[in-house]
Amino acid sequence: MITPPPPATPEQKSVSTIRALPRFTLSQRWEHTVLLISVVTLLLTGLPQKYRATAWSQQILSTPERVFTIRNIHHMAAILLTFLVLYHLFRAIYLLSRRRLPGDMLPSLQDVWDAFQMGRYLLFLSERKPKFAKYNFEQKFTYWFLFFSIGIMVATGFILWLPITATRVLPGGAIPAAKMAHSTEAIVTGIFIVIWHFYHVHFERLNLSIFTGWLNDSDTRTYHPLEYERLTGEAAEPPQTGENL
């Protein structure tokens, strides 16, 4: 539990102090940074290859050398993302074996109830939003959506990268199916990140806790009141606005 700061002296009352509470660990922050770099690189190098018939794509891939370079960058970013996925999975398995895996991001019946309560609030059937813990149901949905989306893209990406090897164990129809799944999932993921994740986390209000590891006292109290109460032992005010990371 975090001990509240001592009362300010008369000399300190003129100075504004903002208390920050822990939000993300160092491991979570660097994983997010690597994920951001690899996904953005994959999108920037993958979209020109998908839309080869368009004028802008033909300008980018105007020579065989450019096609070769774009594909190599795409493959390197894919390898980086694959290593990140493996690290994330093996770390989770290790923590689980040690009984130290946090359950904050696991779905629960409480998330269903919170979603129902949020729906009632949005329909003006309730005056208060549900009180969220460290992660609310929308953030859990984001995590698991990206978890399975990235899994699909990694699996289908290696099938497209190594088609001869893949067809030794898979039927030939797996190649066009993997191509369709890979490109479609990439577009859906890109749209989801830009419209849903970026808006709620960075555009609705500037929130850099995923980079700093800390969230200020006011935002923690407003958006994650149950987490605020757990960390400080103080009563939190009812939340006022929507989902933020």
Mean of pLDDT values over 151-179:
95
H or E segment at 191?
helix 174-191
Global model pTM greater than 0.75: yes
Cα separations in angstroms, 163 against 45, 80, 83, 169, 177: 20, 20, 21, 10, 12
Within 10 angstroms of residue 35's Cβ, the number of other Cβ atoms is 17
- Of the pLDDT bands very low, low, confident and very high (cuts 50, 70, 90), residue 8 is low
- Of the pLDDT bands very low, low, confident and very high (cuts 50, 70, 90), residue 188 is very high
Which domains are seen in the chain, by residue range?
Answer: 20-232 (1.20.950.20)
Are 201 and 207 contacting, i.e. CB atoms less than 8 angstroms apart?
A: yes
Mean of pLDDT values over 180-193:
93
CA distance 18 to 181: 47
Q: What is the dihedral of CA 127, 133, 136, 142, to 10 degrees?
A: 160
Predicted local distance difference test score (pLDDT) of residue 239: 45
Q: At what angle do helices 137-161 and 64-97 cross, to 10 degrees?
A: 130
Rg over CA atoms, the chain: 22
Share of the chain above pLDDT 70, in %: 90
Tell me the H-state helices in 192-216.
209-212
Side-chain half-sphere CA neighbours of 64 within 13 A: 0
Mean of pLDDT values over 203-219:
88
Burial of 132 (C-beta count, 10 Å sphere; 0-12/13-18/19+): buried
